[in-house]
Amino acid sequence: MKPGQIISYPEMCIAEGVNLQRGMNFRLNNKYSVILMSLRPGAPYADRIEESGKILIYEGHDIAKNFGSPDPKSMDQPMRNPLGTLTQNGLFYEAAHKFKKGIGHAEVVKVYEKIRPGIWTYNGLFRLIDAFQEQGRSRKVFKFKLELIEDVSNQLTEQEDISHDRIIPASVKLEVWKRDKGQCIKCGSKDNLHFDHIIPYSKGGSSLIAENIQLLCARHNLEKRDKIE
């Protein structure tokens, strides 16, 4: 799967071989981790992109919402479950600190971003390089720092695409989606879509402006590759 590819929720679950019911998924099938993020207005967690898409700051997740229990947004995000086992927050936090101490490799994380209901985009592979807690107005939350893997050769599987662009901001993705009407600008296909750089990032093209991003189907994206039209 290539960064920038647009997929539906069922397709995302099929790609990972599991029904993704939570945003943080530590070492799926004991291989790599998967996180689901959103930068849309009203998103439940304060994820953010820094350094032109090279760094992702991902917010940890709240306790489960149960009938009669306090509002999860009023509670500290938990490190451990009631029985003492690590939560997803705890698992990611522990892995990040093992890496910082030099006693473990950086966790490889696949990142998917929700751009609208039922529509997701694959943001690529990241390394988990740090984790910390922040004090908000009324509670503590976890923050996880992930660094984009720009050369993904030898990562995960031989099938992983070795080309990689910086993350396109959510606002740009939404603008392009609306402008191009959710279809390939070449043939009108609504299947196997990708966010494509008109001027490739490798040739100085920007990920930060909608004018340099377009929707292409897989066939036309493959035909274009790094050509400037």
| pLDDT value, residue 227 | 55
d(CA 86, CA 195): 37
d(CA 181, CA 200): 22
> What CATH topology corresponds to 6-164?
PUA domain-like (2.30.280)
Give CATH 2.30.280.10 domain extents, the chain: 6-164
**pLDDT tens digits, residue range 149-169?**
976 555 555 444 434 557 788
d(CA 152, CA 194): 19
Evaluate whether 144 touches 92 at the Cβ level (below 8 Å): yes
pTM above 0.85, yes or no: no
Percent of the chain with pLDDT over 70: 91
**pLDDT tens digits, residue range 92-140?**
999 999 999 999 899 999 999 998 888 999 999 999 999 999 998 889 9
